[in-house]
Each structure stands twice: as C-alpha cells, then as structure tokens.
Chain A
C-alpha cells in the first residue's frame, strides 16, 4: 500500500512557464515532506521540504504547498528552466526514532527550450 503517491508519471512544460508537480499521501501522521531531484546516472539530491505545520515553503524558484485536509502537496517551479529537466520524487519519513523515507514513484519533468 503506497503511502506517498505521484500519479502523473511525466510532465512537459515550456521554458519560462510554471511547472506544477503533484503528490498525494495517505498517512496523516507524516510530520513533514520532502522533494528530491534526480538527474540520469546520478543519485537523488534533496531539493526542498515542508513541515506539516506549514502550508507553504519557498526557496528561490521552488515553492512547495501543503494542503493537509486534502492530503496533497505540490511543488511549483517558476520560471521553469531546461536544467530543471529531471525526475522529481516526493517523500515522507515514517514516524519513530529510526524513521525511513518513503518515496513516491517519481515524475519526469521535461522543460522545452
């Protein structure tokens, strides 16, 4: 039973436009959420996170929005750049002292020049 879901496998946007990547979750006990970015032949790298007590966190061109009532979060990239083309994973840590990250299946973002 997947607790973190990314239902859209891919997204294509024009350079300069907004990219919106969506993520849904089922466990209301998650304390915070993270987004990771992955380029081909490289390991994932941390991008941005948000605590469950907030509804927005912004870092430069990247903003994550959290809607707890809908159990939904989204990553906005404005403006999108070709270098943003990558796979984006939504993730959440399980509760407990030795928590583990549960990842969604990922969304492949392509930004067209």
Chain B
C-alpha cells in the first residue's frame, strides 16, 4: 500500500471555525491532490500540487486553500467552515502527472454543524 496518512480521520466542528486537514506521504511522489466525495457528486477535485510550493485550483476550490511547504505534506485549510463543506475528504498522490493512476488515503470525514 502507498504510504499515505490523513489526519484527522474524523472531525466535528462548528460553522465559522477554521479547519486544517493534513495529508502526509512517505512515497516522495511529486503530485498530491485533495478531493471531496459527496452523494450524487462522486469525487471532485479541490486543489492539487505538482511540487513544493506549486499548487493549483481544482473544480471546487472556493472556500479552500492549500499549502505544500515540503514534499511529504499537503495541507487543506477551510478558513471559515460552512455546512456545505461537510464531506469526506480524500488525499491522493501520484508519481507521474499524466498517467492518471492515483493512490488515495483513507479519507477524513468532516462534519460542520
């Protein structure tokens, strides 16, 4: 299994509070991604990174920011959580940018009350 860990795995928070989810990899892969999974929507890309300090937006990036200060860590931040951000968040990594095979973490379930 690819070495990906997400933390926290479960979190309940209140509307308006900041939340940071962490993705840590031990594979030294260049590419890292944050997806969210919601019923009826499948997996949607929030942000991704193609190197240290190199990030870009995905299709549902509003309300989220990311940072990647070192290869192994990719942080997803909700500056002010809203109920619409209640979701399961998956981090994924890839060694190659254009072949598509991603390795996913186990997910972080976030509930915003």
Q: A43-B105, A89-B43, A103-B42 are in contact. Are A98 and B31 (CB under 8 A)?
A: yes
Does A104 lie within 8 Å of B90, measured CB to CB?
no
Q: A41-B107, A43-B107, A105-B42 are in contact. Are A98 and B56 (CB under 8 A)?
A: yes
Task: Using CB atoms and an 8 Å cutoff, list the residues of chain A in contact with chain B.
Answer: 6, 9, 32, 34, 41-46, 49, 89, 91-93, 95-106
Task: Using CB atoms and an 8 Å cutoff, list the residues of chain B in contact with chain A.
Answer: 4, 31, 33, 35, 40-45, 48, 50, 56, 58, 90, 92, 97-107
Q: How many A-B residue pairs have CB under 8 A?
A: 66
Question: How far, in angstroms, from A10 to B5 measured CA to CA in the complex?
Answer: 30
The binding surface of chain A is classed by DSSP as loop
Name the residue on B nearest A32 (C-beta): B100
Does A91 lie within 8 Å of B105, measured CB to CB?
no
CB of A70, distance to nearest CB on chain B (Å): 21
Residues of the B chain whose Cβ atoms lie less than 8 Å from the Cβ of A96: 98
Residues of the B chain whose Cβ atoms lie less than 8 Å from the Cβ of A9: 40
- Within the complex, which residue of B42, B58, B100, B107 is in contact with A104, where a contact is CB–CB below 8 Å? B42
Does B106 lie within 8 Å of A100, measured CB to CB?
no
Does A93 lie within 8 Å of B98, measured CB to CB?
yes
